Amino acid sequence: MKKFSPEEAKAWVDSRAWANGWEVNADASVDAVEFAEQYAANKELWDALFTFLKNADLSTIAAGKHEIIPGRVWVNILEYTPKDAANTKIESHKNFIDLQYTFVGNELMGVAGNVTPTGDYDPVKDKTNYTTDEEIVYSEANPGVFFLYFPKDMHQPSVRSCENPGPSRKVVGKIEYAK
């Protein structure tokens, strides 16, 4: 797998060479080195995902799963009302990277540090859930940015950012993780 220094990775992310015309930016919380290395390892998957996101009319596409490259890249279009942090699970994945892009709604995305699993890894859902006693670091999700969560990232998506957030509409892209 091609290796990137932090400076090379940041320059690559800032160059938008990965975007394929999609106008949304990676949030500052995204691990630029991991993004650059995963993109280099699976360029065709990332290109397929970003091309889909550029061309899809996200305001009208049906909720549900949309396969891009079967078993390797797909998106789920979700519609829901964000919950408070106490009722939102912390999760991680082993085999797929999450791209989370909230294009309608008021919500936060969180990253947790010291976590404790609440059960076993579920290979069907590719998910482990966690709890933490430590403070979670949140970033505001808005239509200008997307988030990437790699297997090392214990994340808490879809947390309400205000008392009455209203409905959210989001894309959760799943990209095969290059090991």
- Tens digit of pLDDT for each residue in 51-97? 999 999 999 999 999 999 999 999 999 999 999 999 999 999 999 99
Stated as kind and residue range, the H or E segment containing 158 is strand 154-160
Every domain of the chain and the residues it spans = 6-16+24-176
pTM: 0.96
The predicted pLDDT at position 1 comes to 87
Chain centre distance of CA 48:
16
Q: Which amino acid is at 61?
A: I
Q: What percent of the chain has pLDDT over 70?
A: 100
Do 144 and 34 contact (CB within 8 A), yes or no?
no
pLDDT category at 36 given cuts 50, 70, 90 is very high
The predicted pLDDT at position 148 comes to 98
- Tens digit of pLDDT for each residue in 38-52? 999 999 999 999 999
- Tens digit of pLDDT for each residue in 107-147? 999 999 999 999 999 999 999 999 999 999 999 999 999 99
Shortest CA distance to 115 belongs to which of 97, 141, 139, 89? 89
Domain 6-16+24-176 bears CATH identifier 2.60.120.370: yes
Per-residue pLDDT averaged across 16-27, rounded? 96
The predicted pLDDT at position 102 comes to 97
